[in-house]
Structure 1
Amino acid sequence: MALIFPAVSTLHRDPRLLGYSPYVSTLCIVIGVVWLLLLPLNEYSRQTYISENALLPGQVHTYFGGSEQHVFKAYKREVEVLNTNGTDLVAAKLDEIFKSAGLKVARQKYEYTSSGKRHSGENVYSILHAPRGDATEAVVLVAAWRNMSGELNESGVALVLTLARYFKSTKGQFLCNSRANHCLGWSLWSKDIIFLITADSKAGPQAWVDAYHDAHSPTSVSSLPLKGGVLQGVVVVDYPFSHHFESIHIVYDGINGQLPNLDLFNTAVSIASGQMGIGTVLQQMWKHDDGYRDRLRTMLRGMVNQGLGHASGPHSSFIPYHVDAITLQAVGEGSHDEMALGRTVESLLRSLNNLLEHFHQSFFFYLLVQANRFVSIGTYLPSAMLIVVNFTITAMSLWVQSGRPEAANANLRGHSGQTTKSVKADRVADVTPAQSAAVAERKLFLPLVFVIGAHFLGVVPLYIFNRSSEKVFSPRPISWPRATNMVYQMITIVFFSFTAFNFILPYVSAVILECYFHPTRQEILLIKSFSLLLLGMFLSALATLNFSLAFLIGLSSVPLTFVHPIPRHPKIAAVAGIFMSLLAPTMVLICSSIYWEIPVGNILIEAAFGWDVWGMWTQVVVWCVWWPAWLTGTVLLASSLVKSSNKQRS
């Protein structure tokens, strides 16, 4: 044993091992990407199943239909008239409809301000108290007056009103089964049912769920005069047209990448597909052949939505409160009518009514590749961790290099003209294991101040973009010809101004760093080591909370591992600098807006709204984690050009 440990110590200090660091990092990146591409295969994905046996999806007979269709058409006509008459009478009329059904009704006003614009409205909700319950648990049936696309949810609102009347009506007390000679009692609900009509799909649900949990600001959101039990599940109905539909699009993404329990999603799929014969789709994959290509596209679309962290529907606001929620969106033109969707909702609520305890047995972290197949966290998490670990490997390698004597003695002040044998001996293979045993003293002050300062600097764009106004202005006088075509959003002007500033910031910072602080080679290595170490630490922690965001940012930051200062080759450094400028978060945002055909201003307004209303923290990761790492890497690369320029002058 005494002979083994010295050998291991010598091998650990062998500088030749540092030469393998780039290859190990490259191998981790390649394996991580390939791992992700393998996930849609049957060998790595699993068939969905119901973990909570008490749900019993599709095991009950549904009675919604018949004469209820006439009630639905009447309510739908009421919704159409209210929309044409204006929004002032909407809340009062909905209140009247719920009261006529014999339900307790309450209203809630709210007003948010984001990007200089007011978002206000009034929610209306009613509560059906369970005849067999003690008001300790509740499920929520939601229909937004306008969906996420801004369309009038005419059939969705009418369907929720019809279901509220159906569940409470005197006819529902004794429903006669036409297949038998007896009547069925309707006192089956063990949980309260809350029927919620929100004024919109973004601010309204957030205001209501915040107030339900007493987490609202009384100055902007009114308290709820009526409350039920603890929320166990939420179902949102989105049916914005009049014709029959083809399939149900199940939307499940929550704020900050949080997801509902997989059992709720599986229950909805089982009821719609198995019991009702309605096709189910997800992630806007209207045609899915269950092949590898469509599975991969479905998974990647889910990762993008999860990585963005925005609300994908009214249900998203409930998930941060550990309330499992989904949106059932009727899509296409087919043979299924509103009664089929109503029976689906009824059966789903009956399954939620069977729950003995909160959803907990199934998965909360998963990737769906198809409506009936998913990938669990234990299978997909290594792909992100392999991407992230390459930053840590490189950071450790740079730390070891910074402790070598020649790293401490070699001063890279290009203007001083110093040339030492230690600079020429920079190659790892030229240093013997005996020479590497000595560790030089590391100067940590400048690297720590620079890296920490870069991360604190990320607060500036975070604050600017969340506080900029979306108001428009015209740079020309109104009397000028075509002045109305020269109208811009203020937040767009701010963004492109920051993009231009962001392009020159690394080079200005490099000039200040080289001319005033004269960093040595050791300090340059330590700056990059600390930056990559923090990036790896943040992303590894983020991967367990929002896998998709960690993977996407990690993949975008991969060039930071391989870009090094090149003082002896200024032309290569200039090309690398241009390449790094194209990988800036601002440029990635511009390219994304072009690809999705969404104006940059609209993306920033949505992000600011998410910050102000939803509590979305995607911007924090972008501007306080990703952007500082990019800035640090680009500054070190630009320092090569400054160093070369100083050397030419001297």
Structure 2
Amino acid sequence: MASSTTEEAKPKPRLIVRLGIFLASHHILFSALCCTAGIIALLFLPSLAKNTYLSENALIPGSANTLFSTEDILEANRFLKGIEAATGESRGGTDMPKFISQEIKNLGAEVHYHEFLPDRKCFHPLKFFTSMTNNMAVKPNGTYTNFGINIAGIIRAPRGDGKEAIVLVTPYNSQGDQSNELLSLALGFSVFSLLSRATWLAKDIVWLSADSQFGEYAAVSAWLNQYHNPMFLSDPVILDTKMYGTNRNLYEHDDTTEKAELMTFKRAGTMAAALIFKVGETRKYNDRDSVTMYAEASNGQMPNLDLLNVVHYLAVHRQGFHVNIETFSSLLSSSWLKVIAEVFQNVGSVLRKINPDWKLDVNVPDYVEGTANLANSMYNQALGVPTGSHGAFRDYQVDAVSLEFAPAFNLKNENAKFSFLLRGGRLTEGVVRSVNNLLEKFHQSFFLYFLTAPSKFISVGVYMIPFALFLAPLPIVAAALAGDSKTKGKLVDECKTKDIVGDLEIGGESWKWLKSARVLLVIQIWAALVSLLPYYISQIPGAMPTQYAVIWAVLSIVILIILYGMFGSPYHAGVEWRLLKATMITSITIGMGLMSIINFATAQLGALILIPMCLFSRPLKAQLEMNFLPRIILFISNILLTVLGFPPAALLVMKCLSKGLWTVDIGDFWLWMEFLWEWSSATYLYVFLVHLPCWLLCIHVLLHPCLQPESKMKQE
């Protein structure tokens, strides 16, 4: 009676505890539902995109009448003819910088030269999250005969205090004479000329003519590195007389005083924003001039959305440009995507009949285009590599955007060129006017977003829902695997009847997870060594990318065998597959959580592949005990997810689907790795320190001999 009374007096566990126990006992069904819901939510994101809007009222784009007029167009044409003449008479590309600097001087603005060396990108294992311009601050010396020359002009704001500045960047190639680059310089100079006479400026204006012979990003990044990290030279005049090789004639006609002034690096205030603009190639079969916006920076960073909104509003509603963003063109003609759009359209119509307030208008063409744009936006952010020289500004927390004008006319058509320059100049002036109105940095709008159209975005509060659905089953499955309720009950019953020796045995059983932790530690050491291998392999001269990839794969396997020989194989250490899988899921949770802070797009795309692969992994021998249909479905899904989860295979499959089977090459993975580490992308660290170790643990789970210690307990 006493015992029964005691059992009745026991308080019931809390609701959250009972809910956790229920989910843990049905963790397979819960995982399947969460993963399915995550995929559906991810596909539904284009339908949830909102129209962009201005959060900062001080911007008020288009509120003032533009001052850019036909006189500025004439000034641009005069500059264009002058620079064409300078390009034709140039000896080694030196007359173009001299002409630009002289024109800036004639406006009464300050000007200086900035020389920089080619960016020698290489793999630095310990410099992933530091500036990529550490070696660009080195000044050219007598051993260098080829270096870039940036020209920077500065207008001091008549209504400002010199503490803030707006940067305009126009790329040009000092060694070339392409008509679109010269037109870009003419457009930039005409805007700079107008701003030199503006009385409303409250922020300094910096116009950077970036020498892009080594790449647009390298030129801008080198100048920004010098801007924010000044070098103090004791005697720059004497140093400069020794450093010029073939380009020495750039200064041969200048006296010492003028030369010292040109070589003195000048600065304005703190950068409020930056606008990079250039004229691209002519678009054929199009009746409207277009502007393409590039916003993605390193490791998924994006500028404040208000800056893009200002550009879009002025370009479309004031100057009549057609605004574009990058897109995956292969998805625009995808038949399966159109089927999904039709399904969502039917679901939206049914929901509107149930409740008219549920506004889920899904148009098939808009959904397909939005999905293609969203896929490209997520891919560029996940890649972690800047899509233009604006990325160099984001490294210094400066909001910047790149604009590429695509004229719909022949550049020799003077009338069309006149209209193009007029609208392009007014667009640039309007952006400068809006940023000039700000009293503080951009902060009102979003920094975390995906673009589905130039005027539509998905905020962080919406696009993190699929990621949360993918992560939701991880702790439930780990708890279910590590602490099976039946095993705990048996251990508790045995604890009541056994003596001290029995207690010691139970204590030994409860610490068996350390064996799985040791396996995880060994694999993480292997992953760290494998991530460093490309640095040493790349030192081999004369090898092809395919050879590099094969060497990397062979060395990775050898290192894994050596580590297993030193610390023991997971199959011979008595590791239970459930504990091994629970340890793997715990590692995924930590890795995904950290990566979502650094680059959310990488974590989102990684979760789409990695989490289903690990959740549904089960030893192949254990699957033999299942019924035929579940066994076949689980076996096929495990094989497909494991193949797609292997980074080289996933890359080759994506390239095969997008460009065709004939383009597949094993060396592409090496080129992709090289591309990531040269740009110090955090995605490189994710692939090798999070994704690859979890994939290998999943392989271990699939190939586990499935020896159950529970059978031994039953025999005892």
Contact 2:110 2:155 in 1 (8 A): yes
Moved more, 44-53 or 286-295: 286-295
1:157 aligns with 2:219: no
Residue in structure 1 matched with residue 548 of structure 2 by the alignment: 494
Residue in structure 1 matched with residue 600 of structure 2 by the alignment: 547
User: Residues 375 and 568 of structure 1: is their aligned pair in 2 closer, same or farther, counting only changes over 3 Å?
Assistant: closer
CA apart distance, 1:298: 1.2
Deviations 1:436-472 (A, max 9, x none): x999412243322221232232233432335654998
Give the SS at the match of 2:592. helix
1:281 to 315, 324, 337: 324
Deviations 1:176-233 (A, max 9, x none): xxxxxxxxxx311000011112223221222222332229999xxx998211111110
User: Residues 634 and 517 of structure 1: is their aligned pair in 2 closer, same or farther, counting only changes over 3 Å?
Assistant: closer
1:327 to 365, 390, 402: 402
1:70 aligns with 2:74: yes
Contact 1:82 1:89 in 2 (8 A): yes
User: Residues 272 and 446 of structure 1: is their aligned pair in 2 closer, same or farther, counting only changes over 3 Å?
Assistant: same
User: Residues 140 and 627 of structure 1: is their aligned pair in 2 closer, same or farther, counting only changes over 3 Å?
Assistant: same
CA apart distance, 1:58: 1.0
2:487 to 395, 400, 404: 404
Contact 1:139 1:192 in 2 (8 A): yes
Residue in structure 1 matched with residue 451 of structure 2 by the alignment: 368
Contact 2:224 2:393 in 1 (8 A): yes
2:532 to 453, 463, 475: 463
CA apart distance, 1:403: 9.6
Alpha-carbon separation, structure 1, partners of 2:530 and 2:563 = 17
Alpha-carbon separation, structure 2, partners of 1:137 and 1:502 = 51
* Aligned-residue CA RMSD (Å): 4.2
Residue in structure 1 matched with residue 272 of structure 2 by the alignment: 232
Deviations 1:47-73 (A, max 9, x none): 211111111101121122313323323
Instruction: Note the 1:51-130 alignment, pairs <5 A.
Output: 51-77=55-81, 85=90, 86-111=92-117, 112-115=119-122, 121-130=148-157
Residue in structure 1 matched with residue 209 of structure 2 by the alignment: 197
Alpha-carbon separation, structure 1, partners of 2:173 and 2:616 = 49
CA apart distance, 1:306: 0.8
Alpha-carbon separation, structure 2, partners of 1:304 and 1:579 = 20
Q: Which amino acid counterpart does residue 113 of structure 2 have in structure 1?
A: R
Alpha-carbon separation, structure 1, partners of 2:690 and 2:522 = 12
Residue in structure 1 matched with residue 514 of structure 2 by the alignment: 445
1:586 aligns with 2:593: no
Q: Which amino acid counterpart does residue 199 of structure 1 have in structure 2?
A: D
Deviations 1:556-610 (A, max 9, x none): 2121221122346699999856862453112222334445558776775576466
Residue in structure 2 matched with residue 537 of structure 1 by the alignment: 590
Contact 2:164 2:272 in 1 (8 A): yes
Q: Which amino acid counterpart does residue 101 of structure 1 have in structure 2?
A: L
1:301 aligns with 2:316: no
Moved more, 312-321 or 282-291: 282-291
Deviations 1:385-435 (A, max 9, x none): 211333333222222249936999xxxxxxxxxxxxxxxxxxxxxxxxxxx
Contact 2:537 2:552 in 1 (8 A): no
Q: Which amino acid counterpart does residue 525 of structure 2 have in structure 1?
A: F
Residue in structure 1 matched with residue 702 of structure 2 by the alignment: 637
Alpha-carbon separation, structure 2, partners of 1:490 and 1:130 = 54
1:206 aligns with 2:246: no
1:260 to 303, 313, 333: 303
Alpha-carbon separation, structure 2, partners of 1:307 and 1:246 = 30
Alpha-carbon separation, structure 1, partners of 2:450 and 2:702 = 38
User: Residues 37 and 407 of structure 1: is their aligned pair in 2 closer, same or farther, counting only changes over 3 Å?
Assistant: farther
Residue in structure 1 matched with residue 413 of structure 2 by the alignment: none
Alpha-carbon separation, structure 1, partners of 2:154 and 2:490 = 72
2:618 to 564, 572, 583: 564
Moved more, 387-396 or 209-218: 209-218
Contact 1:276 1:344 in 2 (8 A): yes
CA apart distance, 1:499: 4.0
Alpha-carbon separation, structure 2, partners of 1:241 and 1:583 = 39
Alpha-carbon separation, structure 1, partners of 2:701 and 2:565 = 10
Please state which structure has a larger fraction of its residues in strand.
1
Residue in structure 2 matched with residue 476 of structure 1 by the alignment: none
1:49 aligns with 2:118: no
Contact 1:468 1:490 in 2 (8 A): no
Give the SS at the match of 1:344. helix
Instruction: Note the 1:207-222 alignment, pairs <5 A.
Output: 207-214=222-229
CA apart distance, 1:89: 4.8
Residue in structure 2 matched with residue 434 of structure 1 by the alignment: none
Alpha-carbon separation, structure 2, partners of 1:242 and 1:635 = 55
CA apart distance, 1:551: 1.0
Moved more, 21-30 or 68-77: 68-77
Contact 2:160 2:201 in 1 (8 A): yes
Alpha-carbon separation, structure 1, partners of 2:583 and 2:548 = 31
Unmatched runs of 5 consecutive residues or more in structure 1: 173-185, 409-436, 474-488, 644-650
Residue in structure 1 matched with residue 392 of structure 2 by the alignment: 317
Contact 1:404 1:440 in 2 (8 A): no
User: Residues 252 and 396 of structure 1: is their aligned pair in 2 closer, same or farther, counting only changes over 3 Å?
Assistant: same
Alpha-carbon separation, structure 2, partners of 1:156 and 1:9 = 63
Unmatched runs of 5 consecutive residues or more in structure 2: 1-7, 125-134, 137-146, 234-242, 244-262, 333-362, 410-415, 492-505, 625-630, 709-716
Deviations 1:480-499 (A, max 9, x none): xxxxxxxxx64442124324
Alpha-carbon separation, structure 1, partners of 2:17 and 2:681 = 49
Residue in structure 1 matched with residue 139 of structure 2 by the alignment: none
Residue in structure 2 matched with residue 351 of structure 1 by the alignment: 434
The number of residue pairs the alignment matches comes to 575
Residue in structure 1 matched with residue 31 of structure 2 by the alignment: 25
Q: Which amino acid counterpart does residue 56 of structure 1 have in structure 2?
A: I
Moved more, 576-585 or 189-198: 576-585
Residue in structure 1 matched with residue 12 of structure 2 by the alignment: 5
CA apart distance, 1:100: 3.2
CA apart distance, 1:505: 7.9
Residue in structure 1 matched with residue 41 of structure 2 by the alignment: 35
User: Residues 303 and 80 of structure 1: is their aligned pair in 2 closer, same or farther, counting only changes over 3 Å?
Assistant: farther
Query: TM (normalized to structure 1)?
Result: 0.77
CA apart distance, 1:526: 2.6
Q: Which amino acid counterpart does residue 368 of structure 1 have in structure 2?
A: L
Alpha-carbon separation, structure 2, partners of 1:159 and 1:636 = 62
Q: Which amino acid counterpart does residue 258 of structure 1 have in structure 2?
A: Q
Give the SS at the match of 1:39. helix
Residue in structure 2 matched with residue 518 of structure 1 by the alignment: 572
Percent identical among aligned pairs is 23
Give the SS at the match of 1:238. strand
Alpha-carbon separation, structure 2, partners of 1:18 and 1:130 = 65
Residue in structure 1 matched with residue 140 of structure 2 by the alignment: none
Alpha-carbon separation, structure 2, partners of 1:258 and 1:144 = 22
Moved more, 225-234 or 235-244: 235-244
Give the SS at the match of 2:402. strand
